[in-house]
Structures are given as structure tokens and as C-alpha cells.
């Protein structure tokens, strides 16, 4: 199988604050280095792209020495935390921006959907923008006309086709933009996180189309999303970015596991005069720290707090979200305030058991809300732990061959009474 995209020693640096080196002589030195194909003499090497810390330099490396190959027909998921360099990488691959160093070689035309409105002219109608995008990809007018009806039908905006796209909602924009990118004859399809704008039905439709494009038509798909369920459904391979470098690449199941393991290594920390929050984690019935269990097994959420004073002014809430970031439940300490108020100083572990067959299979995210005993909010720690529920095949009984439907996975005790 031929190589669709090859990336060699790719780096991208951005200058923060005011653009320029500060003097004309240094600007000329930078320009002279660029025309000779040399690296910028004023870039500082070795600084990590940490959004939470202030650097001595006003230059940040969004990507640093990236190397990978993508085969033709592969569906590749690119994952990582915010600021890892995912969108920058896609912009470089789409030729929206140029790399600072390194090179990219590719085979075939690229259609990309990077953000709402990219590549559309707001004054042109939906129909005119379809032809404009096709022309940019190098397609002939007859080729675009042949695909026009299929694009309009997929986007579901036939009524507004001849209306200027500046009057479209963000959802309509994304529907048309994705339909254009997926149906025009490009060999490589690049999709950033914009699908989050669409509704759940359209997201499902888009995932189905990307799967068809990759597996049915042999086209290459690069997909960025924070929804791990969507990534897992579509992609067979993945790339994990961390602070601008490729941390792992390979099978998507291993990449997602590595992402969650690294994500959950970070300890929760908050401190005030009454207490400090040390850690939140999950264990199984054997008291082993886990990132995944079957829905037929017990799961325990544990919060480690250190109390500094007698009768601490302390409370907390655990909010659990599904992969679509929908709130499923909140578990709070409201009913045990008297027990918390009587705690002595020292470290205390709060254990919250999650019964069997409550959550269906999928990825789940925990937010920790720290508050006073009266309910005043101190701090919210978002996505402080992520866990995966795997399906227990024993209860399926041949009815559902795919995932069990619904958000919960309840297996009730069903009693049968004789009615006279």
C-alpha cells in the first residue's frame, strides 16, 4: 500500500505578543536566514509548549520534530489534550500554514474541514461555494455538477442552497462544509473538531460517511476529536500528541489507552486553610487502580483529602459525564455533612461505590467540585479522571449484537406473580 502522507522532522514555532525581533537589523538577519533555507536564528530550542507557565522566550514551539507516515486508505485519529498541537498539524497538512522546519510529502488532493466557515465566501450562496471549493481542489465544472445533488441531499439544506452562506447558522455551515469535503473527489480528507457543532444525528451520519470514504473508497482520513467513542468507531490507527511531540503512534485502542493513562496520572490538587485535595482515582473490587472495568463489575471512585483543622468547612460533588459531555449524575456529600464536620486532622479517603450494571459501555469523565459545607463553591477540577466501561457479554442473550442501547445498563430482578 502506497504512502499518502509522509512527515519528516516537522516543527512549527509561533511568536507570542508583538511580531518582529525588535530591531531592523535582527529582522533582516531573520529574513536572510529564511531565503537561504536556514532555521530562524532567534528561536530558542528545548522549550515545551506549556500554556500554564510563562516562558523566558516569546517564541513557542507548537510542534517539534514530528515524524510519521500514513498509508493510503488509513483512517487515523489524532488525539491529545488542548494545546498538544493537533490543529496546528492539520493546518500544516492542509497547507493553510507553512512549517518552520521539516517537510511534508503527500500523494493526492486534500479536502479539509478545519473550522466553521473555512474556505467559504460569506457573500456567495451555498451552490456557488460548492463550485468554488471544487475549483480550489482542481475539479472540473462537470465533475462538480455530477456530485451536486448528492452533496445537497447529504447536507439537507436544499431550501437554502441559493441563499448567501453568511445567513446560515453554524450548524448549517458545518453540514454543507462537511458534505462538500466528503463528496468532492479528493484522495485525503482532513476533519478537525468542527463536527461538535452539529447535532447528534448529523454527527452519526458524518462518522458513517467517513467510514465509507475510508473503507469503501480507499481514501485517507485524518480525524481530530475529543470524543474517544467516535475516534474508536471510525479509526483503526492513531497518533497521540503531547506538548507538540508524537508520544505514541499505532493501533487506535492502544493510543486511546495511553491517552487515558497519561491523563489520569495527573493528581488533583487544591488547597485552602481547612483542607487540601490530594487525589481522585478509581479502583476495582480488588483495590487495584483501574481505567476500565466491565459493566458487570463493581467500580469505586476514591477521593483523598487532607484535613488541616477540626470541624472542617468541607464538601464536594462528583459529576460524571458521558463521551458526549452530557451530565449523567452528581454524587455529593450533602447527606454526610455531620460526619465530615466531625473529622479530625489528617488524610481521609472517601470511597464511593458504583454498583454493577449502572453505566453502559463507553468512556466517562469525572469533574470534582470542591465546596464549603454550606454549598459555596471553592473550585471545579474538570476531567480530573477518565474511565472506560466495557460491555459484559454474559447478559446479552443474543438480542443485541452491538452495544446495549441507552445510557444505563440496568439488569433488574424481574418477578412474575400469578394473578387470579
Cell for 381?
A: 477540577
Give residue 399's pLDDT.
55
> Which run of H or E residues covers position 12?
strand 3-15
Inter-residue contact 133 to 187 (CB < 8 Å): no
Q: With helix as H, strand as E and coil as C, how does 166-201 read?
A: HHCCHHHHHHHHHHHHHHCCCCEEEECHHHHHCCHH
The residue-averaged pLDDT of 111-132 equals 81
Inter-residue contact 233 to 207 (CB < 8 Å): yes
Class in CATH terms, 3-9+67-261: alpha beta
Categorize the per-residue pLDDT at 1 as very low, low, confident or very high, splitting at 50, 70 and 90.
low
Domain spans in the chain, listed from the N-terminal domain onward: 3-9+67-261, 266-395
Cα end-to-end span (Å), the chain:
70
Give residue 322's pLDDT.
83
Q: Which residues pair with 60 in a beta bridge?
A: 14
Which position has the higher pLDDT, 168 or 226? 168
Q: Is 302 helix (H, G, I), strand (E, B) or coil?
A: strand
Q: Is 59 helix (H, G, I), strand (E, B) or coil?
A: strand
Residue 407 has pLDDT above 80, yes or no: no
**Do 3-9+67-261 and 266-395 share a fold?**
no
Give residue 394's pLDDT.
53
Inter-residue contact 239 to 222 (CB < 8 Å): no
> pLDDT tens, 333-370?
887 878 887 888 999 999 999 988 888 888 888 999 99
| Distance from C-alpha of 308 to C-alpha of 279, rounded to nearest angstrom | 16
Question: Domain spanning 266-395: which superfamily?
Answer: abc- transporter (atp binding component) like domain (2.70.50.60)
Residue 52 has pLDDT above 80, yes or no: no
Categorize the per-residue pLDDT at 53 as very low, low, confident or very high, splitting at 50, 70 and 90.
very low
Closest CA relative to residue 235, chosen from 52, 363, 74, 39: 74
Q: Which residue bears the cell 483512517?
A: 75
Categorize the per-residue pLDDT at 261 as very low, low, confident or very high, splitting at 50, 70 and 90.
low
Give residue 78's pLDDT.
92
Q: What angle do CA 329, 383, 254 make, to 5 degrees?
A: 110
Residue 300 has pLDDT above 90, yes or no: yes
> Which run of H or E residues covers position 32?
helix 24-35
The residue-averaged pLDDT of 247-253 equals 87
Inter-residue contact 147 to 183 (CB < 8 Å): yes
Which position has the higher pLDDT, 105 or 259? 105
* CA separation, residue 163 to residues 51, 115, 151 (Å): 41, 21, 16
Of the listed ranges 47-56, 99-108, 370-379, 391-400, the least confidently predicted one is 47-56
Cell for 70?
A: 500514513
Closest CA relative to residue 190, chosen from 76, 102, 100, 310: 76
> pLDDT tens, 143-171?
889 889 888 898 888 899 999 988 988 77
**Chain centroid offset of residue 253 CA:** 15
Give residue 51's pLDDT.
46
Of the listed ranges 57-61, 78-82, 129-133, 297-301, the least confidently predicted one is 57-61
Residues ≥6 apart with Cβ < 8 Å to 351: 300, 301, 302
Buried b (16+ CB within 10 A) or exposed e, 146-179: ebbeebbebbebeebbeeebeebeeebbbbbbbb
Residue 20 has pLDDT above 70, yes or no: no
* CA separation, residue 28 to residues 23, 24, 35, 100, 322 (Å): 9, 6, 11, 17, 53
Q: Which residues pair with 15 in a beta bridge?
A: 59
Amino acid at each position: 500500500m502506497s504512502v499518502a502522507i509522509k512527515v519528516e522532522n516537522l516543527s512549527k514555532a509561533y511568536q507570542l505578543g508583538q511580531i518582529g525581533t525588535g530591531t531592523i537589523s535582527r529582522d533582516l538577519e531573520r529574513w536572510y536566514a529564511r531565503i537561504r533555507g536556514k532555521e530562524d536564528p532567534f528561536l530558542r530550542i528545548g522549550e515545551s509548549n506549556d500554556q500554564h507557565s510563562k516562558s523566558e522566550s516569546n517564541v513557542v514551539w507548537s510542534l517539534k520534530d514530528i515524524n510519521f507516515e500514513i498509508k493510503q486508505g488509513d483512517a487515523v485519529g489524532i488525539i491529545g489534550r488542548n494545546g498538544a498541537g493537533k490543529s496546528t498539524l492539520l493546518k500544516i497538512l492542509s497547507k493553510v500554514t507553512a512549517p518552520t522546519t521539516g517537510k511534508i510529502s503527500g500523494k493526492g488532493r486534500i479536502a479539509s474541514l478545519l473550522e466553521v466557515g473555512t474556505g467559504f465566501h460569506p457573500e456567495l450562496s451555498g451552490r456557488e461555494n460548492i463550485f468554488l471549493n471544487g475549483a480550489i481542489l482542481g475539479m472540473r465544472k462537470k465533475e462538480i455538477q455530477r456530485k451536486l445533488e448528492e452533496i445537497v441531499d447529504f447536507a439537507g439544506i436544499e431550501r437554502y442552497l441559493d441563499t448567501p452562506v453568511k445567513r446560515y447558522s453554524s450548524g448549517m455551515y458545518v453540514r454543507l462544509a462537511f458534505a462538500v469535503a466528503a463528496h468532492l473527489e479528493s484522495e485525503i480528507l482532513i476533519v478537525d473538531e468542527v463536527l461538535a457543532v452539529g447535532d447528534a444525528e448529523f454527527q452519526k451520519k458524518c462518522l458513517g460517511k467517513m467510514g465509507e470514504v475510508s473503507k469503501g473508497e480507499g481514501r485517507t482520513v485524518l480525524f481530530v476529536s475529543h470524543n474517544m467513542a467516535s475516534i474508536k468507531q471510525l479509526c483503526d490507527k492513531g497518533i497521540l500528541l503531547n506538548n507538540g511531540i508524537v508520544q505514541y503512534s499505532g493501533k487506535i485502542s492502544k493510543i486511546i489507552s495511553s491517552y487515558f493513562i497519561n491523563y489520569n496520572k495527573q493528581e488533583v490538587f487544591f488547597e485552602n486553610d481547612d483542607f487540601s485535595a490530594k487525589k481522585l482515582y478509581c479502583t476495582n473490587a480488588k483495590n487495584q487502580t483501574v481505567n476500565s472495568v466491565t459493566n458487570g463489575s463493581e467500580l469505586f471512585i476514591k477521593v483523598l483529602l487532607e484535613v488541616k483543622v477540626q470541624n472542617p468547612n468541607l464538601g464536594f460533588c462528583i459529576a460524571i459525564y458521558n463521551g458526549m459531555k452530557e451530565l449523567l449524575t452528581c454524587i455529593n456529600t450533602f447527606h454526610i455533612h455531620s460526619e465530615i464536620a466531625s473529622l479530625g486532622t489528617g488524610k481521609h479517603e472517601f470511597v464511593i461505590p458504583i454498583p454493577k450494571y449502572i453505566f453502559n459501555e463507553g468512556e466517562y469523565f469525572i469533574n470534582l467540585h470542591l465546596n464549603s459545607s454550606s454549598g459555596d463553591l471553592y473550585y471545579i477540577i474538570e476531567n480530573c479522571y477518565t474511565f472506560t466501561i466495557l460491555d459484559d457479554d454474559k447478559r446479552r442473550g443474543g438480542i443485541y449484537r452491538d452495544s446495549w442501547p441507552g445510557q444505563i445498563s440496568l439488569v433488574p430482578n424481574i418477578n412474575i406473580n400469578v394473578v387470579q
